[in-house]
Chains A and B, each alone.
Chain A
Amino acid sequence: MDVLKNKTKKIYKAKVSRVEKISSNSHLIEINLPSAEEIQPGQFISIYCSGLTLRRPFSVYSQNGNTIGIMFKERGLGTKYIKSLKSGDDIDVIGPFGNGFDIKNKKSLLIGAGIGAAPIAFLKSKLDKMKQENLFICGFLNKNEIPNCVNVDKVYTDDGSAGEKGSVLNYLGAVINEYKPEIIYVCGPLIVLRETAKLAEIFDLEIQVAMEKVMACGIGVCRGCVIDIKKDGKIINASVCKDGPVFSGKEVVWQ
């Protein structure tokens, strides 16, 4: 209904412009979204997947004009649906939501692991535009898992099929010693976030982590995606969707 359309904000019947396989197990979907230019690295949008109850949240990988890119791995029914979309299809998107990275004018070490490379790659593009010195390192399972669209400075694979062999975590201390960053930004599996945060504490470095959690509402209402954080000496709940998804690595209570 027209009257409703004029009232709604942050709900978009957007258009898919492209879906492409970018590695052995991940895809890139590009969407024309009216709110694209507002989106900051680390923020997310949420996609309605036909027939499913919960929307699927994705942090944004790229933004050019009205087009945003989302990198995803097919993991279940939601991502299967998104993968099935074709150029020109309608897509129901809400967002952007959450707090993205708080970009600092500091020498930056950017760390991505697996599909967690997506928001970090977006952050890197912003830092590059700002001419802020940065180093982007990324860990993957193997060579075939590396998305063909992501430009990383240093790559690590578990099986050694590309870059250095082993987890990115194994090399982190050495990278910090050599590169001497003033701030770390990281996204990836929980273990990567946790271990990086521990290391940042040892090196007394500022760190921002992009967290992930199953969400229902995406706007801080349902309290489904809360984590423990330390604030003013107390441990309190924070919602990943609204208070995050980016948190200071120092305030997160690591499980």
Chain B
Amino acid sequence: MAVMNDILNVNLNGFMLQNPIMTASGTYGYTDEYDDFIDVAELGAIVTKAISLNPRVGNKHTRITETEAGMINSIGLENVGIQKFLQDKVPVLKSKKINYVVNLAGSTIDEYTKLAEICNDNQIKAAELNVSCPNVKSGCLEFGTDENSLYELVSAVRNVYNGFLIVKLTPNVTSIEKLGIAAEKAGANAVSAINTLKGSQIKINCSLGKISKTIITGGYSGMGIKPVAIGAVIRLSKVVNIPVIGIGGIRTLNDVLEFIAAGAEAVQIGTENFTHPDIAQKLVYELAEFITQNGFKNLEELKKELRK
């Protein structure tokens, strides 16, 4: 098939992708959940839902709400835990030849390193550190917002993990560049940006003069965050020498091109997977078509042109 040839290949600092279209953590499950819509194995890679050392039940209150240009989620990292992932999910990923990155979440350095060791022992090729989930109370956001803590964390993980290590950065900081530099210094192989923006929605109901409110606070994602993400990718690309993976509000081929122009070597599709579950594969095809129709040799050449 046309797109399965190598024009879209990406060498992400040693981690090979057949194309630059990945899916973002939390929006694609653990394995082949989207097989009802597309052939998941045709994507560059999927990033799994965040996985912790022990299973987590997640948050109790309202977990999702739609906003003007996206949505707010407060799932609270509900997940099956690393052991069940290895037992039930990895065999599916392997048998279906799905390229994947395991997203890891912890609340202490010890938890992260244990997770990383387990991944290392199980030959998991790539991991993305979630150091910036806005929906869990302890720990993890601090790693994502303080460059010294981040350096310490990534160094500790790097010591025990030989695979490809991505650090996912939060936009909820004054200078995302400092965090990117810290991740690189500590040995990360790539950074991905951005995680969700912290936001809230207050639903107000008024019935016969009596007001009732529902407040949901969580991570804001979707089309509305794209300019923030593009800005972050531009700034990060200028200061780090490792690949930047762009995430944030991607819905169209033009969005993908915009991220590449900003400096992204690959992109992750997030919220739009919910709206159009075939979007990731569609973007692979559209990108291939765009490259051939415009006479570019391959993605690498298109990147150069876009960044001139």
Which residues in B have their C-beta under 8 angstroms from that of A55? 274-275
A11 at the interface (CB under 8 A from B): yes
> Is there an interface contact between A7 and B78, defined as CB atoms closer than 8 Å?
no
Which residues in A have their C-beta under 8 angstroms from that of B39? 7
B196 at the interface (CB under 8 A from A): no
How many residues belonging to A are interface residues under a CB distance threshold of 8 Å?
29
**CA distance in complex: A52, B64 (Å):** 14
Q: In angstroms, how far is the closest chain B Cβ from the Cβ of A12? A: 11
Known contacts A48-B275, A214-B65, A237-B58: A219-B70 contact under CB 8 Å: no
Which residues in B have their C-beta under 8 angstroms from that of A224? 63-64, 73, 75
Q: From residue 180 to 225 of chain A, which have CB atoms closer than 8 A to chain B?
A: 214-225
Interface-side segment among B22-30, B109-117, B187-195: B22-30
> Is there an interface contact between A4 and B65, defined as CB atoms closer than 8 Å?
no
One of B66, B223, B274, B285 near A222 (C-beta < 8 A): B274
Interface-side segment among B91-99, B231-239, B240-248, B276-284: B276-284
Q: From residue 24 to 82 of chain B, which have CB atoms closer than 8 A to chain A?
A: 26-29, 33-34, 36-39, 49, 57-58, 62-67, 69-71, 73, 75, 78
Q: In angstroms, how far is the closest chain B Cβ from the Cβ of A147? A: 24
One of B29, B37, B273 near A8 (C-beta < 8 A): B37
A14 at the interface (CB under 8 A from B): no
Q: In angstroms, how far is the closest chain A Cβ from the Cβ of B40? A: 11
B180 at the interface (CB under 8 A from A): no
> Is there an interface contact between B64 and A214, defined as CB atoms closer than 8 Å?
yes
Known contacts A7-B39, A214-B64: A219-B277 contact under CB 8 Å: yes
Main secondary structure of the interface of A (DSSP, over half): loop
> Is there an interface contact between B36 and A219, defined as CB atoms closer than 8 Å?
yes
> Is there an interface contact between B282 and A4, defined as CB atoms closer than 8 Å?
yes
> Is there an interface contact between B281 and A10, defined as CB atoms closer than 8 Å?
no
Q: In angstroms, how far is the closest chain A Cβ from the Cβ of B205? A: 12
Chain A 214-246: CB-based contact to B (< 8 A → 1; otherwise 0): 111111111111100000000011000000000
**CA distance in complex: A215, B49 (Å):** 17
Which residues in A have their C-beta under 8 angstroms from that of B67? 53
Q: Which chain B residue has the least Cβ–Cβ distance from A216?
A: B274
B103 at the interface (CB under 8 A from A): no
**CA distance in complex: A222, B76 (Å):** 11
A141 at the interface (CB under 8 A from B): no
> Is there an interface contact between B73 and A216, defined as CB atoms closer than 8 Å?
yes
Q: In angstroms, how far is the closest chain B Cβ from the Cβ of A214? A: 6
A152 at the interface (CB under 8 A from B): no
Which residues in A have their C-beta under 8 angstroms from that of B37? 8-11, 94
One of A1, A7, A94, A214 near B277 (C-beta < 8 A): A94
A174 at the interface (CB under 8 A from B): no
> Is there an interface contact between B65 and A3, defined as CB atoms closer than 8 Å?
no
A54 at the interface (CB under 8 A from B): yes
Q: In angstroms, how far is the closest chain A Cβ from the Cβ of B43? A: 13
Known contacts A53-B70, A222-B73: A216-B64 contact under CB 8 Å: yes
B202 at the interface (CB under 8 A from A): no
B215 at the interface (CB under 8 A from A): no
B263 at the interface (CB under 8 A from A): no
> Is there an interface contact between B58 and A53, defined as CB atoms closer than 8 Å?
no
**CA distance in complex: A215, B275 (Å):** 11
Known contacts A52-B66, A223-B63, A226-B63: A9-B36 contact under CB 8 Å: yes
Known contacts A216-B64, A219-B33, A223-B63: A7-B281 contact under CB 8 Å: yes
One of B27, B64, B275, B276 near A221 (C-beta < 8 A): B27
Which residues in A have their C-beta under 8 angstroms from that of B58? 223, 226, 237
One of A48, A53, A216, A220 near B69 (C-beta < 8 A): A53
Known contacts A54-B71, A222-B73, A226-B58: A3-B1 contact under CB 8 Å: yes
B271 at the interface (CB under 8 A from A): yes
Known contacts A214-B64, A226-B58: A53-B285 contact under CB 8 Å: no
Which 8 pairs, one residue from A and one from B, show the smallest C-beta to C-beta distance? A224-B64, A221-B29, A216-B274, A54-B66, A223-B78, A10-B36, A217-B274, A224-B63
7 A-B contact pairs sorted by A residue (CB < 8 Å): A1-B289, A7-B38, A7-B39, A52-B66, A215-B64, A219-B34, A237-B58
Beyond the given pairs A8-B278, A237-B57, 16 more chain A to chain B contacts, judged by CB atoms under 8 angstroms and listed by A's residue number, are A8-B37, A9-B36, A11-B37, A53-B67, A53-B70, A53-B223, A54-B274, A94-B37, A214-B62, A216-B64, A219-B33, A219-B34, A223-B78, A225-B64, A226-B58, A226-B78
| Chain A residues within CB distance 8 Å of chain B | 1, 3-4, 7-11, 48, 52-55, 94, 214-226, 236-237
